[in-house]
Amino acid sequence: MLIYLRPGLIILPVLLLLATVFSACLGSRGFRPKYEFSAAYERRPQFWLEYHPYPPEQRTDSHPRVRAIPQNEGWTDLRMKRELAQFGQAGFAALLLHVKPEIMASEHFAERLQKFHALSSSLAPGMGIALVLSPGVEGLRLSVQNTMQFVERLGFLHLPASLKVQGEPILFFGGHIELIEDYQGTKRQASLPEFLHNVQNRACTVSVAGPPSEKQPEDLAWRRKKGEFFASQLQEAFQSKARIIYIKSWNNYAEDNFMEPNSLDQDLMMQILELAQKALP
């Protein structure tokens, strides 16, 4: 027996089926590529994070234009509380604050840094905080002796949440600094690039965005690959059994390396980090 259906009765079920399949792929947070992680650690690695209290701005030739969500208006108490809660939830062991010398020398920064330490004890307990003296221009020469005396005078190495390396608080110097090695004191200090490259520290640097390509040099979305580049970098760190996984960065927009919630890919990078950590012991 032949059964005849009106065209409308056929189209409606097909549309419903397509809508169901599409919504399942889209999900509540949008379509995501598949990320898989495997790790063979006996002891969980430490995750360190590059952080800028005053984020470098995105370059004018980088596109699309991106902003933090919510948009930051200075290093305020509200922003500190929000970000420290995110860092604590993500399980970061250390936060490396990159600041320019002229900012570190200001009274306002000293007050803000003390507030940040005070808030971290409850919002990100156990997370160490270290300063990284990081100039915005190349070719800066600094006396280690004068810098350490200045930092000591302000008490920056004795704040409650100071990161300790081998039991001692530490000050890092970023790249592009020519250091005058004249320090005669006993406080711990180190070049951050040298520290990360020292094989004894078993550190691995993980970037959020890939390097520019010849075909699409400034296409930020292409370089982030919907998080696939970041995920592959994390997996490489796991395979090398890195003891310290240093993530670049939370909010360095000048280098197109940022994982904080933003207008381009929302909180995707935080989701990927959370997924990667589930593969660890």
Q: Range with the lowest mean pLDDT among 28-32, 164-168, 228-232? A: 28-32
Winning range, highest mean pLDDT, from 180-189, 222-231, 234-243? 234-243
The pLDDT value recorded for residue 54 is 96
Confidence of residue 36 (pLDDT cuts 50, 70, 90): confident
Say if residues 41 and 281 touch (Cβ distance below 8 Å): yes
Residue 157 gets which letter from DSSP? G
Q: Which residue has the higher pLDDT, 111 or 19?
A: 111
Q: How confident is the model at residue 217 (pLDDT cuts 50, 70, 90)?
A: low
Q: What is the pLDDT of residue 184?
A: 83
Average pLDDT over residues 248-254: 95
The per-residue pLDDT for 28 is 38
Mean pLDDT calculated for residue range 202-221: 83
How do strand 168-173 and strand 164-165 relate by DSSP bridges? antiparallel
Q: Is 59 left (phi over 0), alpha (psi -120 to 50) or beta?
A: beta
User: How does pLDDT run across 129-162, given as a tens digit for each residue?
Assistant: 999 999 876 768 889 999 999 999 999 999 999 9
Closest of 233, 128, 143 to residue 189, by C-alpha: 143
What was the pLDDT predicted at 52?
Answer: 98
CA trace torsion 115, 119, 125, 126 (10° rounding): -10
CATH H-level, domain 45-277: superfamily: Glycosidases (3.20.20.80)
Helix (H, G, I), strand (E, B) or coil at 268: helix
Q: What is the pLDDT of residues 51-106, one digit of tens each?
A: 999 999 998 888 899 999 999 889 999 999 999 999 999 999 999 999 999 999 99
Q: At what angle do helices 228-239 and 268-277 cross, to 10 degrees?
A: 20
Domain boundaries defined on the chain: 45-277
For the entire predicted model, the pTM comes to 0.86
DSSP label of 241 = T
Sign of CA dihedral 132, 133, 139, 142: negative
Query: What is the structure's pLDDT at 135?
Result: 84
CA 72 remoteness from chain centre = 16
